[in-house]
Amino acid sequence: MPVMENPKDINTIVLAYMGDAVYEQAVREHIIRKRPYDANWLHRTATAFVKAQAQAKIIKNMFDGLSEEEQRLVKRARNKKFTTKARNADPITYKWATAFEALVGYLYLAGETERLGQVIEEAIAIVEGGNDEQSG
C-alpha cells in the first residue's frame, strides 16, 4: 500500500530526502546483524555505504537493469538543478547519488516494498564488492 498518493508528482529532491533515510536505515540494519557490538566499526561501515561516491557507483551499476519508469525517474533526479552545494563530492557524483536516493524514496512512498528490497539488496551487494561494473 502506498505511503502517499502519486509519489511520481513529488519533487525529486523530496524523494531523495526520503530515500536517504530509508537507505540509511536499511544499511544500519544490515551491518548491525554482522557486528552488533562495535559502534566505531558500525559508523565507519555505514559511512562507506551512504557516501555519495558509493551511491553514485550503485546507481550507475544498476541503471541498465531498472525499468523504463525507474530510469526516467533517475534521469529526472540526476538532471535536477541544485541550489545546495555538495560537501564531500564533486557535483556530478552528487547528482548520481541524489538520483539513487530519489529512486529509493520513490519506491518507499509508492509502497513498492518488494522492489525496494531488491534495489537495497543489490545496492548492498555492489558496495560490498559483488558488482563493480563501473566506478566513474
Domains of the chain from N-terminus onward:
7-127 (1.10.1520.10)
pLDDT in tens, 12-40: 999 999 999 999 999 999 999 998 889 99
Task: Indicate left, alpha or beta for 19 from its phi (over 0: left) and psi (-120 to 50: alpha).
Answer: alpha
As a whole number, the mean pLDDT across the chain is: 89
Positions annotated as catalytic residues are 20
Q: How confident is the model at residue 5 (pLDDT cuts 50, 70, 90)?
A: confident
Task: Indicate left, alpha or beta for 92 from its phi (over 0: left) and psi (-120 to 50: alpha).
Answer: alpha
Mean pLDDT over residues 55-69, rounded? 97
pTM, two decimal places = 0.88
Phi, psi of 88 (to 5 degrees): -120, 25
Residue 54 confidence (pLDDT) above 90: yes
Instruction: Report the distance separating Cα 132 and Cα 90, nearest Å.
Output: 20
Residue 66 confidence (pLDDT) above 80: yes
Residue 98 confidence (pLDDT) above 50: yes
Mean pLDDT over residues 81-85, rounded? 66
Residue 132's pLDDT is 45
| Cβ neighbours for 35, distance < 8 A, ≥ 6 positions apart | 41, 42, 45
Q: How confident is the model at residue 85 (pLDDT cuts 50, 70, 90)?
A: low
Instruction: Report the distance separating Cα 101 and Cα 37, nearest Å.
Output: 28
